[in-house]
Copies of this chain bind each other. A is one copy, B any other.
């Protein structure tokens, strides 16, 4: 079997990172569903983050998510369908439509922040705060800070 100098196979590392990520996101959405947001998908959370509190144009959302305008438009359509975002005409520019979060969208975002904090606290309890902080620091040094464009990349060609 292929392994590194200290006997650990390299392929486990990405699996562990993915498992950690998945565990957090799964628990987040399980809890969100319990708190009245059963329809939010991981991708929606990223998109709402990209829209932001003040709202954005569809083109800005596309740029932040690292996808095409059309893809962003479809995602916004979906969020609008679910009642998490809305499009309003931009009074200053007849071409633009401002995308804004609805109160429901905002609620899901604030709940997500609280849940993430609770999940991190659980990890801190299991590992010890120092170990968790070191894990975060270590990841920060080897991986560039993640942008919102990380969502689409997996499936994309």
Is A92 in contact with chain B by the CB < 8 A criterion?
no
On whether the beta carbons of A121 and B14 are closer than 8 Å, the reply is no
The reply to whether A150 and B19 contact each other, CB–CB distance below 8 Å, is yes
Tell whether, in the assembled complex, residue B23 and residue A142 are in contact, meaning their CB atoms are under 8 Å apart: yes
**For the complex, would chain A's binding face be called helix, strand, loop or mixed by DSSP majority?**
helix
Across the interface, which residues of B come within 8 angstroms of A126, CB to CB? 141-142
One of A54-62, A98-106, A128-136 contacting the partner: A128-136
Interface residues of A (CB under 8 A from B): 1-6, 8-26, 28, 41-43, 110, 112-121, 123-124, 126-127, 129, 131-136, 138-146, 150-151, 153-155, 157
Jot down 10 A-B pairs with beta carbons below 8 A, ordered by A. A4-B117, A13-B119, A14-B24, A15-B146, A17-B24, A18-B146, A22-B153, A126-B142, A134-B134, A135-B138
